[in-house]
Chains A and B, each alone.
Chain A
Amino acid sequence: MKTLEIPTFECETGNYHTFCPISCVAWLYQKIEDSSFLVVGTKTRGYFLQNAPGVMIFAEPRYAMAESEEGDISAQLNDQKELERIRLQIRDDRNPSVIIWIGTCTTEIIKMDLEGIAPKLEKQLGIPIVVARANGLDHAFTQGEDTALAATTHRCPEYNPRMTTRREGYEDKLVVVDIDQSNEFIEEKGKLNRCGSVLFGSLPASVASQPNLESKRQSVSVSGWLPSQKYSELPALGEGVYVCGVNPFLSRTATTSMRRRKCQLVGAPFPIGPDGTRAWIEKICSVFDVKPDGLEERENQIWKILSDYLEVVAGKSVFFMGDNLLEISIARFLIRCGMVVYEVGIPYMDRRYQAAELLLLQHTCKKMKKPMPRIVEKPDNYSQVQRMHELQPDLAITGMAHANPLEARDIDTKWSVEFTFAQIHGFVNARDALELVTRPLRRRSDSNLGCRSLSKQAVDI
């Protein structure tokens, strides 16, 4: 790709705002229905969970804090005994099939041996305990899910090509084929079925069924998802299984499934936007030696449906402050929609895991004749606000800490966390993704109060 503009990566101070990675429990507990999450740490983390994921806490969630007290820190209390007591309490309260311990900064600093304690307690009580060290020392926001899934990867059953388990009668329906011992084992014919294909990344059930459907259309069947709806239904992994990520922040999970479970990673762009979804399916098809069928028409059809939104965004400029690692994929989609992206801030950039996505970004820039955005790893929010003041983008995609102040300074913003919770994957949800992006832009043309800037402060942060 000599002709293309090579992306330049910059790295700033890392003084940026993002959510603590333990926030992943807020969506993972809903995804894995029979799980219970225990965040081991101090009040600081508990207060974060209570305030940031908002009112979800009132719905009697299956997550709780094991709040460290002074005695725990100074090792006056025995970690193992304390955790055992709490785990019994959780078992009695919720009876989960798996308990997932989320280690935090506190457990890192005092070097609490969660990985060592877990197997002991697991043996005693018979409930699996998965340990994920999702702490703010090493990770940002969505990477929490990555650590949790990477830890779960070890718990997936071993894949056996001869014993591909299928739920009887489900073959031609659009369901994820589950591993379920109680069902008859059916040996299947054909080359495809000798290899399993497992997708990883936590998507809501309704969204997850769509990639299944799309790949089914190309006669590639998805043999499982990580995570599954239930812990007891985790997909089989092993040699001969192809794995493919649906989200850009899952590099650790990808590495673990490759190195520890000997799976083959399909490096594809991510199924965000019709262009991404098409490239994603094409890549999977190519692995299975299937000629994709009707994908181009499908993509064009989706672009046609988006035409009213495309009018709104065409030529508008975007600035990603960066906090959830979805930035590259969304930027690529928006450039394809005709927007100009000034800067893509991103907490962490795994150039190998995201290689295909970066390449697609380059191609998209060339195709749309748009400049390649600058990619800023570990951004510095203060400098970014200064840059934004000069560039005056039409839209800033940013965290809640900056959204209201930027709005007051006449820069339209979209709250970035919404992209992690909204359904943006696959062909069908492309409209939802654009709906999010255009909302502030559409609101602008509607309102005519005549107030441009609503802050008395100058540029200052």
Chain B
Amino acid sequence: MTEQIKFYRDKHLSFIESLDTKTEDYEYWLSEHLRINGVYWGLTALCCLKASDKFKKKDVIEFVLSCWDKENGSFAPFKGHDAHLLSTLSAVQILAIYDSISVLSPEMVDSIVKFVTSNQLEDGSFQGDEFGEVDTRFTYNALSTLSILGKLTPQVVDPAVSYIKNCYNFDGGFGLCPGAESHSAQAFTCVGALAIVGKLEETLTKQQLDDLGWWLCERQVDNGGLNGRPSKLPDVCYSWWVLSTLAIIGKLDWINFPKLHSFILKSQDPQKGGISDRPGNEVDVYHTCFGIAGLSLMGVEDLEPIDPVYCMPFYITKKFLKYK
């Protein structure tokens, strides 16, 4: 009989709490450019664990505000870095989780909106910043940011939806741009973006949604884990990218939950807490967040229910204004 693997809740809490104390580690500075995203991942994991008070709210908000990039008019991942759509969304998500959007002055909100909209291109796509990299990830970042701030407009939404539609593939998935290979992360960013603006059903047909569901459920491999693309290894983060997308399109039951649950639990570190990409590997906050969020989507381990569209607790997202 297989040994029953526990969910090491307390270990994960300790792991997340300790993350900002390792300032002497190379890894801490190597990931400086992901810091604000890391705070979001850590905080979201804590929310799922019903322990959001483990981080000091005041300190976190101060950190977020310290990431303001005055020159570009939005949030950078760390003080002194450049603003980017990735870090802008994480900053706004953190403030929303703490119910503290009001710490942003009207001028700052306007500046964020300007930053976001200035990165939309003629075809409706978004570049992450002036460097010019285009990816449907940034479309999600942009629309989610504006949604949380209550600033979505048809001038932004309509061309973005048109662009997303062009990124739909023959196999049912979505790529980073038209013609790009399907990828689970991009499936989430495209479907999530459509859901945020309330245009999922009018953009994709029932057949297209079915094909997407098939493409996504095929991501489950024999050991129960989910991969991002055909023939790739399973990775815990796809517990989120795949599962959340299936949840959004109403096909969550197309995944074998017990097998996936087992795979995620096996990827925990029983000594120091945290979750790695797959069993036996080094843990990190990114995979810890999405592993726990995946468990929440499956409704196991007594976790706070998480909104698959925003990757934030439902008790937060229900306050967001719906775009019509």
Bound together = no
Binding site for B on A (CB under 8 A): none
